[in-house]
């Protein structure tokens, strides 16, 4: 009997080990989890899963975020690893590795940093406090996606902002990881680049003024410039998006017809329009300036499509600053100071739309308010950018001068509420030339094999009432004109989110059903109420120390009582 029990015990133990081994093999083969978070932060969006399930070849991800970091960066590091594990649970064609660029000998570190710098990867300086001592450490919050000979560099950390706390910056960075990674995979797999054209011939922003935006777009799209007089029609198959950036002279009816039929055939348009000829350059020449309407001749087009840019200027107490001379330090040495310039609203997006969600402030110059108009065909209108509730509006004619800075702004006068300055239009658009095309013109179009459409296929366009939103500052350098990054305000030296706003807009206009949906995810930042925690610290210390001891004591008493009762009954 003893030998039989021993054999049975060994058999049960072996069976238990076999089951445990089998469960571990299954766990390694199948990755799953239950997302119990309110905002479903650990659940990938459908477009991301579809993208990953469609992978047919290996993609390698090099994450330059290995090592020991403070709590905030540790959270970003952990979140990066978790999102890559989620990606690998959907596909076996993705592999990643964390690396520390600062590990190794001095020669190895210097060589590695030089190679990263040549790829445009610049480190940031992190101050680390350890045992009362503060040290500085160079870190690289980047991930490099590689597919064959192609690579896409992803910045993991969002730009710091004066309007956001460090915790909010880290939280936004964690929120956008899925979008950034899926977007990188989507772009690295694209078989051919789609075309984006900037119009010219109407005084639009020149190549130097849009250098930074063009450089950023050129990494993933074929960009170029188009004079509308040089083409008969604009083919959406060759041009996915048309950007009309700050024209100052009028569009002819022929040019309008080409743009209109481009929209009717499914083309997308990004309208960056200044309604009034206002600018600091004009005010620098004369202390007072009265801006006039630009004779663009496109008001009827925008009206027909569902938007109207008003002939006014929006003033906002939440604005960027300009530099003005306030005196002379010495002959020929002027003294400057910064002043809030209410005609330059620093707009913070509040919309939940993927284009602007979690986006920092956008710097606008002399923008106008936009009204949405009811259209003949179904068109969805979404306000993407609007001024703060501390806004006012000045209608043309306007006497622009710097006298407004002589007095402290009265918030009671900025009482017009938020004013829309950017609107997204989606749907089926009516043609501006419906019932306006003669029989002779129709015959000519038929000979050219160009069909005339009175209503568009479902498409999209976006209107921004400021052309300078796409303009990078240009200064004179020793070797000629030099341009600064888009969004960098050279006066108050703050980098705004102009470039991210436009890049998101371009991506959504070209592919609204793509991975940009992941930008809509929200990871809520649940911060500790430090004031309440300090007030109630004694109570919670007692709870944390006393309750476990009380439970332990109660369990001990019950265990002894139960034991005595059990053995007392057996004795009896």
Please give the chain's pLDDT, 572 residues, in tens.
556 767 777 777 788 888 888 877 776 665 566 655 555 666 788 888 888 888 888 999 999 988 777 777 788 888 899 899 988 888 889 999 998 888 888 888 888 888 888 887 888 877 655 555 556 778 888 999 999 888 888 888 876 655 566 777 777 788 888 888 988 888 888 777 889 999 999 999 999 999 999 998 987 889 999 999 999 889 998 899 999 999 999 999 999 999 999 999 999 999 999 999 988 887 776 667 888 899 999 999 999 999 999 999 999 999 999 888 777 766 777 777 888 999 999 998 888 888 988 788 999 999 999 999 999 999 999 999 999 999 999 998 888 888 888 888 888 889 899 999 999 999 999 999 988 887 888 888 888 888 889 999 999 999 999 999 999 988 877 777 788 889 888 888 888 989 989 999 998 999 876 677 666 665 554 555 566 777 788 888 888 888 888 888 888 888 888 877 777 765 55
CA distances from 543 to 472, 473, 540, 557 (A): 58, 59, 5, 21
E strand spans, 111-220 = 124-130, 133-139, 142-147, 150-155, 194-200
Cα(416)–Cα(397) distance, integer angstroms: 19
State the burial class of residue 448 (Cβ atoms within 10 Å of its Cβ: 0-12, 13-18, 19+): exposed
Instruction: Assign 222 to helix, strand or coil.
Output: strand
Considering the domain 25-186, what is its CATH architecture?
Answer: 3-Layer(aba) Sandwich (3.40)
Task: Tell me the β-bridge partners of 430.
Answer: 455
Give the pLDDT score at 31: 54
64, 143 Cβ separation under 8 angstroms: yes
Query: Which residues neighbour 228 within 8 Å (Cβ) at sequence distance 6 or greater?
Result: 199, 201, 234, 251, 254, 255, 258, 259
Per-residue pLDDT at 112: 85
Q: Which residues are bridge partners to 338 per DSSP?
A: 323
The CATH code for residues 194-520 is: 3.40.50
Question: What global pTM score does this model have?
Answer: 0.75
Q: How far apart are the first and last CA of the chain?
A: 33
CATH 3.40.30 placement within the chain: 25-186
Helix (H) or strand (E) holding 176: none
pLDDT value of position 509: 93
- CATH 3.40.50 maps onto the chain at 194-520
Q: In angstroms, what CA-CA distances link 304 with 36, 234, 236, 240, 299? A: 47, 20, 21, 22, 9
Angle between helices 166-175 and 177-189 (to 10 degrees): 40
Please state at what angle helix 71-90 crosses helix 177-189, rounded to 10 degrees: 50
Nearest one of 508, 505, 506 to 517, comparing CA atoms: 508
- Residue in this structure with the two tokens 């710098």, named with its chain if needed: 117
Looking up tokens 């190794």 gives: 104
């Amino acid at each position: 009997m003893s030998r039989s029990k021993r054999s049975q015990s060994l058999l049960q133990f072996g069976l238990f080990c076999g089951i445990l081994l089998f469960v571990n093999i299954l766990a390694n083969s199948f990755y799953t989890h239950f997302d119990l978070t309110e905002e479903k932060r650990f659940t990938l969006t459908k477009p991301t899963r579809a993208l990953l399930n469609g992978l047919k070849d290996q993609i390698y991800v090099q994450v330059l975020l290995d090592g020991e970091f403070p709590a905030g960066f540790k959270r970003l590091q952990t979140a990066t690893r978790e999102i890559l594990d989620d990606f690998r649970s959907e596909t076996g064609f993705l592999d990643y590795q964390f690396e520390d660029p600062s590990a190794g000998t001095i020669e190895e570190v210097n060589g590695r940093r030089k190679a990263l710098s040549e790829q445009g990867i610049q480190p940031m300086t992190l101050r680390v406090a350890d045992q009362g001592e503060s040290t500085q450490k160079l870190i690289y919050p980047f991930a490099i996606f590689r597919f064959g000979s192609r690579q896409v560099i992803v910045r993991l950390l969002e730009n710091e902002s004066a309007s956001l706390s460090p915790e909010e910056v880290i939280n936004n960075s964690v929120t956008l990881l899925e979008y950034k990674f899926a977007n990188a995979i989507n772009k690295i797999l694209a078989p051919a680049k789609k075309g984006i054209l900037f119009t010219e011939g109407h005084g639009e922003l020149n190549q130097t003024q849009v250098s930074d935006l063009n450089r950023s777009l050129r990494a993933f799209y074929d960009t170029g410039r188009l004079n509308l007089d040089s083409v008969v029609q604009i083919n959406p198959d060759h041009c996915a998006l048309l950007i009309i950036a700050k024209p100052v002279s009028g569009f002819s009816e022929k040019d309008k017809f080409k743009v209109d039929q481009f929209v009717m055939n499914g083309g997308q348009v990004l309208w960056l329009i200044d309604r009034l000829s206002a600018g600091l350059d004009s005010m620098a020449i004369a202390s007072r300036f009265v801006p006039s309407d630009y004779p663009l001749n496109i008001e009827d087009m925008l009206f027909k499509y569902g938007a109207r840019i008003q002939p006014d200027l929006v003033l906002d107490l939440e604005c960027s600053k300009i530099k003005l001379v306030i005196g002379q330090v010495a002959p020929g040495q002027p003294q400057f100071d910064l002043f809030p310039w209410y005609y330059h609203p620093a707009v913070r997006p509040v919309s939940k739309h993927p284009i602007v969600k979690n986006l920092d402030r956008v710097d606008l110059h002399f923008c106008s308010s936009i009204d949405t108009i009811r259209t003949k065909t179904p068109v969805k209108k979404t306000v993407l950018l609007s001024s703060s509730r501390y806004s006012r509006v000045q209608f043309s004619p306007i006497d622009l001068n710097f006298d407004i800075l002589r007095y402290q702004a009265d918030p009671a006068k900025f009482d017009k509420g938020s004013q829309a300055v950017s609107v997204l239009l989606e749907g089926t658009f009516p043609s501006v030339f419906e019932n306006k095309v003669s029989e002779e013109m129709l015959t000519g179009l038929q000979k050219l094999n160009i069909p005339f459409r009175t209503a568009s296929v479902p498409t999209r366009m976006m209107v921004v009432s400021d052309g300078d939103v796409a303009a990078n500052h240009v200064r004179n350098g020793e070797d000629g004109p030099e341009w600064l990054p888009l969004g960098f305000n050279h006066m108050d030296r703050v980098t705004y989110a102009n470039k991210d706003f436009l890049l998101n807009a371009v991506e959504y206009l070209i592919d609204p059903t793509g991975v940009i949906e992941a930008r809509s995810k929200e990871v809520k930042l649940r911060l500790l109420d430090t004031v309440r925690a300090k007030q109630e610290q004694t109570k919670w210390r007692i709870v944390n120390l006393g309750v476990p001891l009380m439970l332990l004591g109660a369990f001990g008493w019950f265990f002894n009582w139960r034991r005595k009762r059990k053995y007392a009954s057996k004795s009896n």
